[in-house]
Amino acid sequence: MNTKKSLLIAVLGLFMFGCGSNMMGNRETEGEQAESEVAAEEADDMDNVDTKFLITNSSAGYFEIGLSWQDIAVNEYDYAATQGYGICVDACCDGGITLGYIPDGYDFINEPDMTIGAVLFEGGEFPDDVKFANKHKKNRDLFFITSDNCCGWYWNDKINYLMVYSDKYKTAEGIGVGSTLEEMKKAFGKITISIGWIEEDGNAIQVSVDKYPTLRFILDYESAVGGYEALSAVGETAEISDFKPRTKIERVLVKNPSEETNE
């Protein structure tokens, strides 16, 4: 009798152990499946955008912050380039390089695809300082830019930031120039609309999302309900409702991650 009881207990134990193992196995399988589904979704997002025109936290296409741009512009995009201004705030402009195509019948880039913010070599506060304007004239790796309130020498072939104007460039979710605020909300969930110094900064209205901390999606103040005056009264942050339906992104700023960290 004891032998039969022992055998029955052993069989039941094996049965219970087998069920427990299967339950654990199922839990592990479900967890692995969930991870696979997330990875698949991310892969699908990446498949929607050509890497040649993919915007990330540190790049736009093959142009990556901190690296050179000249060979890429010519060999990968066949872009023409023009030295000039980057971003201007309160009549102080930094150095930038405009990239794009020169249409037939033109001798300049009519509609740029992007502006590369050049890396500062040495800055000055007095635009009419002739000595400073000639200081690095013999260095072919640098160029000089002056505006009403500042001036500076910049590296020809180093990327500090990227300002994208072309709607060809998109994030993995398909968001870029021409995308609407409603599309951004659908793609990212939470979006934050910040209002800066709209009187003196053309990029003062910026939309940011958690997934891309160094990207700023720029809006035009004319897209606000009530225009400039109404937006001026909103404060430092705004809501989608403060803008007209289907307000579009005008350009995308890819900030230097190191500068974002220091803020």
Measured in whole angstroms, the distance separating CA 144 from the mean position of its chain's CA atoms is 27
251, amino acid identity: R
3 falls in which pLDDT band (50, 70, 90)?
very low
User: How many separate helices (H) and strands (E) can be counted in the chain?
Assistant: 6, 12
Distances (CA, A) of 111 to 55, 77, 104: 19, 15, 13
- The model's pLDDT over 149-189, given as tens digits with 9 standing for 90+, comes to 999 999 999 999 999 999 999 999 999 999 999 999 999 99
CB of 213 closer than 8 Å to CB of 145? no
- The model's pLDDT over 232-245, given as tens digits with 9 standing for 90+, comes to 888 899 999 999 99
109 exposure class (CB count in 10 Å sphere: 0-12, 13-18, 19+): middle
Residue 86 has what DSSP assignment? E
CB of 195 closer than 8 Å to CB of 103? no
- The model's pLDDT over 21-50, given as tens digits with 9 standing for 90+, comes to 443 344 445 555 544 554 455 445 555 568
